[in-house]
């Protein structure tokens, strides 16, 4: 697996969130003019006023990533960078930045392509069925794989692909063959309650072609 080296990433804060206990680093908040340049600086060493957005499944709304966060479970503590949908605070994106995976598919040295897993969460799935969003039925937790490209000329990040990995799912592994295939292994649960208790799960291996776009090739149950 060829994974983007993130040794320069420092966990900046741990914030109160949906599934774990978190704390806020107030000193950091007062030391930065805005949060989005901090995200670009820590992830890509780009000190510019640019933002990193996750595209919502309706392909219209975007969530800006703004906060470095840790989520704690009974087994471990995992870092994310998080953002909340500006016009509906029930929806949030949690990018698993430790699993950002670089792709060797760009012919332009100024274009850096990568895939990254992220979770979209909805804290109020039942009442949001009447939402104005085109995809109001997003479950309380859904794991996605996104395809992105960073243009070093403009320092803009464009998301050009998105695939649902599974509802109520957690990432187990992500592997890249160095050419055009990415394998993602997840553990999927029937309900959110099962996911919280880590019971009644099945393991899936999803294979994607990343040569030109993000295309699902195979979805196999491996356990």
183 in a structural domain:
no
CA distances from 152 to 10, 24, 47, 149 (A): 22, 31, 12, 10
> Mean pLDDT of all residues in the chain?
79
201 in a structural domain:
no
Asked if residues 141 and 168 have their Cβ atoms less than 8 Å apart, the reply is: yes
Q: What is the mean pLDDT of residues 80-84?
A: 95
- Residue 26 phi, psi dihedral angles, 5° rounding: -65, -35
14 in a structural domain:
no
155 in a structural domain:
yes
**68: containing domain:** 26-168
Asked if residues 148 and 113 have their Cβ atoms less than 8 Å apart, the reply is: yes
58 in a structural domain:
yes
Out of 53-62, 109-118, 138-147, give the one with best mean pLDDT. Answer: 109-118
Q: Is the pLDDT of residue 165 over 60?
A: yes
11 in a structural domain:
no
112-129 pLDDT per residue, tens: 999 999 999 988 766 444
Which residues face 72 on adjacent strands?
Answer: 77
Q: Which residue would you say has higher pLDDT here, 11 or 83?
A: 83
18-44 pLDDT per residue, tens: 333 333 333 333 333 344 447 998 999
205 in a structural domain:
no
- Residue 193 phi, psi dihedral angles, 5° rounding: -60, -40
The domain total for the chain is 1
Q: Identify the pLDDT of residue 20.
A: 36
DSSP string of 76-94?
-EEEEEEEE-TT-TTEEEE
7 in a structural domain:
no
Q: Which residue would you say has higher pLDDT here, 177 or 127?
A: 177
In this prediction the pTM is 0.77
Helices and strands in the chain, H and E counts = 3, 13
Tell me how many degrees the CA angle 137-166-95 measures, rounded to the nearest 5. Answer: 90
Q: Identify the pLDDT of residue 198.
A: 73
Q: Is the pLDDT of residue 8 over 50?
A: no
Q: What is the mean pLDDT of residues 54-73?
A: 87
Q: Identify the pLDDT of residue 147.
A: 97
Angstrom distance (rounded) from CA 166 to CA 74: 22
Q: Is the pLDDT of residue 143 over 90?
A: yes
Q: Identify the pLDDT of residue 56.
A: 86
Q: What is the mean pLDDT of residues 80-99?
A: 92
Q: Which one, of 187, 182, 85, lies nearest residue 138 by Cα?
A: 85
Q: Identify the pLDDT of residue 7.
A: 36
Helices (H), 5-114: 26-31, 36-44
């Amino acid at each position: 697996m060829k994974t983007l080296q993130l040794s320069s990433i420092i966990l900046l804060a741990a914030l109160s969130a949906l599934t774990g206990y978190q704390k806020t680093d107030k000193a950091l908040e007062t030391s930065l003019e805005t949060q989005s340049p901090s995200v670009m600086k820590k992830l890509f060493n780009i000190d510019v006023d640019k933002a990193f957005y996750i595209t919502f499944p309706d392909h219209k709304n975007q969530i800006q990533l703004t906060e470095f966060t840790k989520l704690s479970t009974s087994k471990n503590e995992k870092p994310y960078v998080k953002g909340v949908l500006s016009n509906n605070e029930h929806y949030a994106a949690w990018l698993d930045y430790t699993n950002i995976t670089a792709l060797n598919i760009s012919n332009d040295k100024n274009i850096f392509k990568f895939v990254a897993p992220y979770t979209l969460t909805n804290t109020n799935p039942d009442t949001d069925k009447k939402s104005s969003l085109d995809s109001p039925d997003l479950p309380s937790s859904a794991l996605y794989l996104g395809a992105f490209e960073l243009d070093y000329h403009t320092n803009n990040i464009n998301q050009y692909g998105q695939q649902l990995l599974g509802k109520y799912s957690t990432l187990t592994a992500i592997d890249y063959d160095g050419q055009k295939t990415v394998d993602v292994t997840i553990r999927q649960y029937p309900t959110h309650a099962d996911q919280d208790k880590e019971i009644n799960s099945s393991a899936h291996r999803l294979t994607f072609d990343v040569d030109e776009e993000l295309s699902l090739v195979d979805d196999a149950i491996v356990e």
